[in-house]
Amino acid sequence: MFVAAVVICQHVVRSSRRWIQEQQYQPWRLRPLKLQPLSPVPSDIEISRAQTPKPISQLAQEIGLLPEELEAYGNTKAKVHLSLLNRLQHQPNGKYVLVAGITPTPLGEGKSTVTIGLVQALSAHLKLNSFACLRQPSQGPTFGVKGGAAGGGYAQVIPMEEFNLHLTGDIHAITAANNLVAAAIDARILHEATQSDRVNNCNHNNIQLLRLLEYTFDLTPEEIRAFVRLDLDPEKVTWQRVVDTNDRFLRKITVGQANTEKGHARQTQFDIAVASEIMAILALTDGLGDMRARLGRMVVGSSRNGQPITADDLGVTGALAVLMKDAIKPTLMQTLEGTPVFVHAGPFANIAHGNSSVLADKLALKLVGEEGYVVTEAGFGADIGMEKFFNIKCRTSGLTPDVVVLVATVRALKMHGGGPNVTAGVPLPKEYINENLQLVADGCSNLKKQIQITHLFGVPVIVALNVFKTDTQAEIDMVCRIAEASGASAAVQCHHWSRGGWGSVELAHAVKKVASQKNHFQFLYNLQDSIVEKIRSIAQKVYGADDIELSPEAQAKIDYYNQQGFSALPICMAKTHLSLSHMPEKKGVPTGFILPIRDIRASIGAGFIYPLVGTMSTMPGLPTRPCFYDIDLDPVTEEIKGLF
Amino acid sequence: MFVAAVVICQHVVRSSRRWIQEQQYQPWRLRPLKLQPLSPVPSDIEISRAQTPKPISQLAQEIGLLPEELEAYGNTKAKVHLSLLNRLQHQPNGKYVLVAGITPTPLGEGKSTVTIGLVQALSAHLKLNSFACLRQPSQGPTFGVKGGAAGGGYAQVIPMEEFNLHLTGDIHAITAANNLVAAAIDARILHEATQSDRVNNCNHNNIQLLRLLEYTFDLTPEEIRAFVRLDLDPEKVTWQRVVDTNDRFLRKITVGQANTEKGHARQTQFDIAVASEIMAILALTDGLGDMRARLGRMVVGSSRNGQPITADDLGVTGALAVLMKDAIKPTLMQTLEGTPVFVHAGPFANIAHGNSSVLADKLALKLVGEEGYVVTEAGFGADIGMEKFFNIKCRTSGLTPDVVVLVATVRALKMHGGGPNVTAGVPLPKEYINENLQLVADGCSNLKKQIQITHLFGVPVIVALNVFKTDTQAEIDMVCRIAEASGASAAVQCHHWSRGGWGSVELAHAVKKVASQKNHFQFLYNLQDSIVEKIRSIAQKVYGADDIELSPEAQAKIDYYNQQGFSALPICMAKTHLSLSHMPEKKGVPTGFILPIRDIRASIGAGFIYPLVGTMSTMPGLPTRPCFYDIDLDPVTEEIKGLF
């Protein structure tokens, strides 16, 4: 008895000791992969292929994951169980770093490469635990215009072809779930229109229930009809089908034209898969139960008498949760220098919030521990991606950022300073190749404005100048000087693209210094403000508009959402990323404009209302010369060619 | 010097010894999972969940796979590298067993459960190396009518929810590849219609080539036009989009109705993903190079002057191969008793050949070794699935089967003997519950005919009677007696559903005995026969038709295929599986009918011509009470409910 008690006590002591140990910050025993950058810098896929990734199980072990928390998908990708959050619940979070950007050219200014370069510098060179959290790219553009999205040069996620292709199937799961809802909607409309109340009830509910209603509760046929039918209005279905392909011919289609559908044809459209509300939910959810609840709340249309119809009403919620049960786990990969990366979710930045997942950030913050760093990226310019990161993503997650890294390029600044148009696929005009200090100086207006926007939220900002080989020292120095004069806590040049993490060490030091300072994070608006006030706050304080102007459609939607009790949701502006205003051609810092709100929509499951400023395409097309012309596979070596 | 030579010699000797050892048959050190069947038999998902699968890496090791040949997808699924075929190229193949069936009721007669029960018996009870090769089911019906397809009762693949859901993403990859072709077709038609020859050429080829044509070869504008344009006829596009969802509203649609598509709307349709020609290619290919070549040969439509246009013409072949690079590797799973299963490909049995993949069979035949068994399944009744297995799959693979297991049930035989209709979702009439020897005796006509069909190919046949608990001993004995009298090498009763492998030991012994006998396998027709002769051979010898009758459309297609040089392909009949004839209500052995050929199509990449006998739906619908109503996920335990 006594012996048993001693054994139990010893056991408790050992357990507690282990428990305390587990909670403490421990520097990882990370073995970085050596990098020997070549000059000139080879193509992305050549660089990716020249590096042999660590087995993903080894990386997982190095960063403190238990074997049972890992589900390998081949040797270079693994899903991580959410049970980790439970195991490390007492572990303090690491520092939370957001990478945002100035208003970009259509070519993009390298937020992803800065993100990856920064964690390579932090982990592999400063020996600090750090994690990058990236969005999974849509496969559509990979074969269309854009190419891959795994970073570039010597700041990449490897193997880049795995990152850019199916990955671990999350977008495919979203496609399957989204389209099951769509099939359920049209089938339900057809069945309700062509079958009796009795058949509809027996099928949608059960025969016992019908008898209960008829005989026990003595309901009238009209009451029973109202009970068994959703009475979805085919004209008011808002749910759309999706594919992960750039298929412009699906932008407007008519479905239901076969005889078997008995004349129930209607017009609708396909969106690109990442535009699905289910993707936005994946990015914002904090667990299986919450995801299931959000999926159930998704509004797919309204009934003939104007009531919202949800996925729960269709009886499809459980099946959606089943389809999404693996997608909810973030995917672990690695950078070129063998440091850890989570790839998870990738909501469309046009009509959704364009940020990687809350869950990946939360897991990473626990894994790096108190003195570690999690670097996450927000799509588009800071006026859009960062604003949504703060007002939507941070509000949902409860996390607060420690520092913003604002990415700028001399190229984009010159454009804002009045340089000629920058167009994808066309050689850059000479202003962008040769030194032009005047254009740079003028263009810094945009940089200054984006710094001010960051300060609205009470978060310090570091400007990261992503250096191109055509940039001159005078141009670089000028940008850094103006940035610091405009209130940036630091402004540093970054050479990750040509040198890997070593090229971002200065940025890493700046991040370490600034992130350790206290900040005073605040939201831009209160959820209890009216929808109009919330939109006006963003338009005036962030975009610099004089005011907003609502179309009659937008006003009618606001009235409807108020009536339905959806007014306390945050706002997710659907605005061009090519200007602070709604006019893509207006560069620099446009003033004196009224922001027109053409229409307003809602993603009730994801939990935001999205005003449309102008027309937002939700389905890209293939260009006359698509990327897929160059993509091929060597059947013998199994090597992929032409991805970049 | 001398010492070095001795060392080299020793090394060579050791290598050779190891080499010889590797080539020899070795019984696996398989550790079966214990099964303790309950009575009454619980639901499929309860049985599946009650068994803990072995780690897939352990199973892989037990059956002789090297760690580098395996790509785990979680802990219960793994893809197997095709390099295995090279390593074991000198290993003799095991015995090749095909499971086919008599003409089924709409409920199916249990070919999958017989397949799984048989390998459980062979591996776990007779201790003989054996592998099951199964098709991956479409996810559409899982949420629609049919439920899962992982077998059932105590003869299942586990975890059944993994088998029935995304698996390792192969069908998603097919969907992505199929729809990239579709997007490329419509974008190409639009660009050719709205851009100059110069733009089309610069984009589709390159500017140097255009100058070469203009100045060096002195081509006329008409010649250049012919060179740079595919001139696809929008009315003659045969390629269709796919989704893996039962979405009936996509059976006939109009695409391209947005303004951006400038009036190029056209009518088309979506098929269920498994109906894609790319799925048929996956099932028939023997490696990456062959798959790439087949993908390139796929005909997607024809030009305005009647020439076939291929995926190669669209420039999309390489991208398709890249999208399919992982899908080509079969997925390893296990049965309830811990014996190995390959799941790979699942071409629609209506318009394709409905058989699992050639590659899975080839890998499995090497892994089991000379004295082992590979059991593979053909969809539908033997008149369809088995005929295509022999004439298409075996012709492509070069493999020849050793024995056919023909699955029969008392239920289906009673239906053929004149019993009332059997309908899904409706309780069985009493004839099927109570003993009725007359119906059984009469219905054995179908069994006898299917045995004769097997003998046409020179392969011995064992009848496996899948016993239901309502079957009486007299009924069972009668079937076995008639089967043996009709030429079956053996006829045995199977109780795998209620007892697992133990219930199929008698079948396993019969297979072992019959498979060791020599057989005289032959095809039913020569490829050099005319298309009409080949169709007539199948109609008369297999279906029992008096003759065939070609519609004018069918005749025109034959002329076209002859002219294009496609006439030497095998034939893949698209006929109902519910009757030996084309009339689903004609049970037993219909005679005195003329088989009408409504139309003829071709899958040039997959490599077959498919005559349509009647209308074949390529897109299932959701019923009024779909399966997804019952499917749910417990957010805490992560357990799935309602899959069956």
Last residue of a domain, one of B294, B314, B334: B314
CB-CB contact of B249 with A186 (8 Å) = yes
> Quick one: which H or E segment has residue B208?
helix B207-211
Nearest residue to A63 via CA among A360, A286, A364: A364
A518 in catalytic set:
no
> B241, B249, B261, B262: best mutation site toward chain A, by most A Cβ within 10 Å?
B249
Structure tokens at A437: 């200090």
pLDDT above 90: percentage of residues in chain B: 81
Tell me which residue has tokens 């120095």.
A477
Using alpha carbons only, give the angle B492, B494, B499 rounded to the nearest 5 degrees.
150
Contacts of A624 in chain B (CB under 8 A): 191, 195, 199-200, 203-204
Residue from A295, A624, A638 to probe the interface with B (highest B Cβ count within 10 Å): A624
- Is the per-residue pLDDT at B482 higher than 80? yes
Which of B39 and B642 is assigned the larger pLDDT?
B39
Sole residue written with tokens 């209607």: A266
Question: Pick from B368, B493, B482, B496: which is nearest to B96 by CA?
Answer: B368
Q: Do A179 and B255 touch (CB under 8 A)?
A: no
Q: From CA A272, how far away is CA A242, in angstroms rounded?
A: 5
In a domain, residue B641? The reply is no
Cβ atoms < 10 Å from Cβ of B623: 15
Q: Has B173 been annotated as catalytic?
A: no
Closest-CA residue of B relative to A323 is B165
Cβ of A249 within 8 Å of Cβ of B629? The answer is: no
B289–A contact, CB cutoff 8 A = yes
Cα–Cα dist A40/A357, whole Å? 35
Catalytic residue (choose from A54, A95, A111, A587): A111
Pairing of strands B151-152, B461-466: unpaired
Considering only alpha carbons, which residue of chain A is nearest residue B142?
A319
Is the backbone peptide bond immediately before B141 cis, with ω within 30 degrees of 0? no
Dist CA A139 CA A628 (whole Å): 11
**In the predicted model, is pLDDT for residue B446 greater than 70?**
yes
| Residue among B180, B241, B325 minimizing CB distance to A628 | B180
User: Is A442 in the B-facing interface, judged by CB distances under 8 Å?
Assistant: no
Collect the ranges in chain A with pLDDT lower than 50. Answer: 1
Same domain, A468 and A353: yes
Q: DSSP readout, A6-67?
A: HHHHHHHHHHHHHHHHHHS-------PPP----SS---HHHHHHHSPPPPHHHHHHHTT--G
Q: How far apart are CA B242 and CA B522, in angstroms?
A: 36
Give the Cα separation of A530 and A515 in Å (integer).
34
| Whether B336 and B483 share a structural domain | yes
Which of A263, A288, A293, A298 lies closest to A180, judged by CA? A298
Chain B residues whose CB is inside 8 A of the A628 CB are 180, 184, 315-316, 318-319
Q: Is residue A199 part of a domain?
A: yes
The neighbouring-strand residues paired with B610 are: B601
CA distance B151 to B47: 11
- B412, B279: one domain: no
What letter would DSSP give residue B532? H
Those of residues 294-353 in A touching chain B at CB distance below 8 A are 315-319, 321-323, 325-326
Give A139's contacts in chain B (Cβ within 8 Å). Answer: 176
Q: How far is A182 from chain B (nearest CA, A)?
A: 8
Position A430 in a domain: yes
Contacts of B18 (CB under 8 A, 6+ apart): none
CB atoms within 10 A of CB A40: 6
- Condensed to tens digits (0 to 9), the pLDDT of residues B234-268 reads 999 999 999 999 999 999 999 999 999 999 999 99
Is A487 within 8 Å of chain B by CB? no
pLDDT at B5 over 90: no
- Beta strands B608-612 and B95-101 are unpaired
Q: What are phi and psi of B631, to 5 degrees?
A: -90, 130
Pairwise CB contact (< 8 Å): A624 & B250: no
Would residue A595 count as lying in a domain? yes
| CB environment B177-207: b (16+ within 10 A), e (fewer) | bbbbbbbbbbbbbbbbeeeebeebbbbbbee
In angstroms, what separates the C-alpha of B340 from chain A's closest C-alpha? 19
Residue B64's SS3 state is coil
The distance from CA A19 to its chain's CA centroid, rounded to whole angstroms, is 34
- Does a structural domain hold residue A35? no
Q: Can you tell me the distance from the alpha carbon of A22 to that of A316, in angstroms, rounded to the nearest whole number?
A: 41
Q: Does B183 contact A251 at a Cβ distance shorter than 8 Å? A: no
Looking at the structure, do residues A110 and A230 belong to the same domain, yes or no? no
Dist. CA A97–CA A114, nearest whole Å: 12
Query: Could you tell me how far CA A259 lies from the centroid of its own chain?
Result: 41
Say what the pLDDT of residue B483 is: 98
- Residues whose CB is less than 8 angstroms from the CB of residue B219 and which lie 6 or more positions away in sequence, other chains included: B213, B227
**B638–A74: do the CB atoms touch at under 8 Å?**
no
Mark which residues 157-186 of A lie under 8 Å from B by CB: 161, 165-166, 169, 172-173, 175-176, 179-180, 182-184, 186
Residue B622 has its nearest CB partner, among A172, A183, A249, at: A183
Q: Which of A484, A515, A546 is the last residue of a domain?
A: A515
d(C-alpha B461, C-alpha B489), whole Å: 6
pLDDT at residue A424 in the model: 80
- What confidence score (pLDDT) does residue A217 get? 74
Instruction: Find the largest Cα–Cα distance for chain B.
Output: 88
- Residue A442, pLDDT score: 98
Residue A639 counted as domain residue: no
Question: Could you give the C-alpha distances from B619 to A38, B245, B249, B423, in angstroms and in order?
Answer: 53, 9, 9, 20
Nearest-5° Cα angle at B417, B413 to B422: 65
User: Residue A539 sits in which domain range?
Assistant: 531-612
- 3 state DSSP class of B376: strand
Coil, helix or strand at residue A76: coil
B154 and B265 assigned to the same domain: no
Name the catalytic one among B49, B87, B146, B541: B146
Residue B111 bears catalytic tag: yes
Candidates A570, A127, A512; CA nearest to A389 is A570
Same structural domain for residues A198 and A307? yes
Rounded to the nearest 10 degrees, what angle do helices B170-194 and B197-204 cross at? 150
Beta strand residue intervals within B273-377, DSSP E: 299-303, 308-310, 331-335, 340-343, 373-377
Q: Judge if B157 and B288 occupy the same domain.
A: no
For residue A512, give how far its alpha carbon lies from the nearest alpha carbon of chain B (Å).
36
For chain B, what is the domain count? Answer: 3
Q: Are residues B285 and B406 in the same domain?
A: no
A239 is catalytic: no
- Checking if the pLDDT of B134 tops 60, the result is yes
Output the DSSP codes for B418-463.
TPPP--TTSPPPGGGTS--HHHHHHHHHHHHHHHHHHHHTT--EEE
Least confident of A535-539, B121-125, B260-264, B297-301: B260-264
Q: Which residue has the tokens 């660089």?
A: A47
Q: Is A400 a catalytic residue?
A: no
Task: Identify the residue whose tokens are 């009439």.
Answer: B429
Residue A347 shares a structural domain with residue A405: yes
Tokens 């984006």: give the residue. Answer: A450
- pLDDT tens figures, B492-548: 999 999 999 999 999 999 999 999 999 999 999 999 999 999 999 999 999 999 999
Q: Is residue A353 part of a domain?
A: yes
Q: Do A186 and B249 make contact, defined as CB atoms within 8 angstroms?
A: yes
Instruction: Indicate if A300 and A366 belong to the same structural domain.
Output: no
CA–CA distances in Å: residue B8 to residues A247, A275, B3, B4, B15: 61, 63, 9, 6, 10
CA–CA gap between residue B153 and residue B316 (Å, rounded): 44
HEC secondary structure over B94-134? CEEEEEEECCCCCCCCCHHHHHHHHHHHHHHHCCCCEEEEE
Query: For A261, which of B79, B249, B323 is closest by C-beta distance?
Result: B249
Residues of B in contact with A257 (CB under 8 A): 251-254, 267
Any A CB within 8 A of B190 CB: yes
Q: What is the pLDDT of residue B375?
A: 98
Of A175, A179, A319, nearest to B628 by CB-CB distance is: A319
User: Residue B59 maps to which CATH number?
Assistant: 3.40.50.300
Q: Which of A132, A182, A321, A349 is catalytic?
A: A349
Chain A contact for B250 (CB, 8 A cutoff): yes
CA distance A332 to A326: 13
Q: What is the CATH number of the domain that holds A575?
A: 3.10.410.10
What pLDDT, on the 0 to 100 scale, is given for residue B1?
Answer: 47
Length of chain B: 644
B380 assigned to active site: yes
Q: Check whether residue A361 and residue A284 sit in a common domain.
A: no
Question: Which A residues in the span 56-75 are in contact with B, Cβ-Cβ below 8 Å?
Answer: 71-75
CATH code: domain of residue A274:
3.30.1510.10
Judging contacts by C-beta atoms under 8 Å, the chain A residues touching residue B254 are 253-254, 257
**Which amino acid makes up residue A403?**
V
Cα B406 to Cα B417: distance, rounded to the nearest angstrom: 18
Nearest CB among A243, A631, A635 relative to B288 is that of A635
Provide the CA B74 distance to its chain's centre, in angstroms.
Answer: 25
Q: What is the model's pLDDT at position B201?
A: 60
Answer yes or no: do B161 and A623 touch at CB < 8 A: no
List the structure tokens of A282: 């994946």
Are B251 and A260 inside 8 Å of each other by CB? yes
- What does residue A298 show for φ and ψ, rounded to 5 degrees? -55, 130
A218 three-class SS:
coil
Cβ-contact A286, A362 below 8 angstroms: yes
Specify whether A451 is located in the same domain as A359: yes
Closest among A359, A455, B89 to A463, alpha carbons compared = A455
Catalytic site residue A502? no
Is A253 in Cβ contact with B321 (below 8 Å)? no
Mean pLDDT over the full length of chain B: 92
Asked if the structure places residue A195 within a domain, the reply is yes
Q: Write out the two tokens for A133.
A: 């959290």
Instruction: Please tell me which residue in A79, A146, A512, A587 is annotated as part of the active site.
Output: A146
CA distance A359 to A332: 12
Chain A: residue whose CA lies nearest to B203 = A625
Residues of A in contact with B80 (CB under 8 A): none
Show which of A316, A348, A364 is a domain's final residue: A316
Following DSSP, what letter does each residue of A8-22 receive, concatenated?
HHHHHHHHHHHHHHH
**How many Å lie between the alpha carbon of A626 and the closest alpha carbon of chain B?**
9
Examine the predicted complex and report whether its ipTM is higher than 0.90.
Answer: yes
Amino acid type, A344: H
Residues of B in contact with A317 (CB under 8 A): 632
B139 touches chain A (CB under 8 A): yes
